[in-house]
Amino acid sequence: MFSTTEMPSLSSLFSAFASIMASIIFLQSMLHQILPKQLRDYLIILFQDLFKAHTPILTLVFHKGNEFGGRNQIYEAASVYLDTLCRGTETKRLNVCKNPKEKGLVFRLENGEKVTDLYQGIELQWRFVCSKPEKNSLRNSSEKRNYELSFHNKHEDKVSNSYLPFVLDKAKVISDEKRVLKMHSEQFL
């Protein structure tokens, strides 16, 4: 540790800081005049890439609707599948609703909430995102709803070819069970 006698004075620290800042500003203006804009932009991108944190996490986004205005099957399947996962987990907020035609309650993730799934040793994190449209936006003023699925990028192939079909199949089974239960209970009314 430094003793107080070895510490530089505040004025010398400030003058060193001012000198360094003046040198940076001078160098920046020189480079701005000498280098063409395209080269400057390229160097800036290279410099940013050097210091950018490279994350191994891949995130897939499933929008409620597709670009043709129809329903997105994966979004619908995720909604049904996550209904079974979101209860009894670390999730803090759930959206609960009851359809008059159905017997049970429906649990959905609230905006920004996450739920973790484990599939064949792979940890997958689902997140529900609902973004409100900007007030000044003229295009498509409805809110945007989507699910984000995040996982380590080394599992991309397994998630795409095995997990997502599993979610689609599981959601179909759950929906069919609800439909059979609904038809069965309507017979006794």
Q: What is the 3-state secondary structure (H, E, C) of 93-151?
A: CEEEECCCCCCCCEEEECCCCEEEEEECCEEEEEEEEEECCCCCCCCCCCCEEEEEEEE
Mean pLDDT of the chain: 81
Q: How confident is the model at residue 165 (pLDDT cuts 50, 70, 90)?
A: very high
Give the burial string for 13-47 (b: 16+ CB within 10 Å, else e): eeeeeeeeeeeeeeeeeeeeeeeeeeeeeeeeeee
Query: Are 145 and 111 within 8 A, CB to CB?
Result: no
AA letter at 169: D
- What is the tens place of the pLDDT at every residue in 41-90? 888 888 877 777 677 889 999 988 766 667 889 989 998 888 877 766 66
Q: Where does the pLDDT of residue 124 fall: very low under 50, low under 70, confident under 90, or very high at 90 and above?
A: very high
pTM for the whole thing? 0.62
Output the pLDDT for position 85: 78
d(CA 126, CA 176): 23
Q: Which amino acid is at 151?
A: F
Higher-confidence residue of 47 and 14: namely 14
Distance of CA 39 to the CA centre of its chain: 33
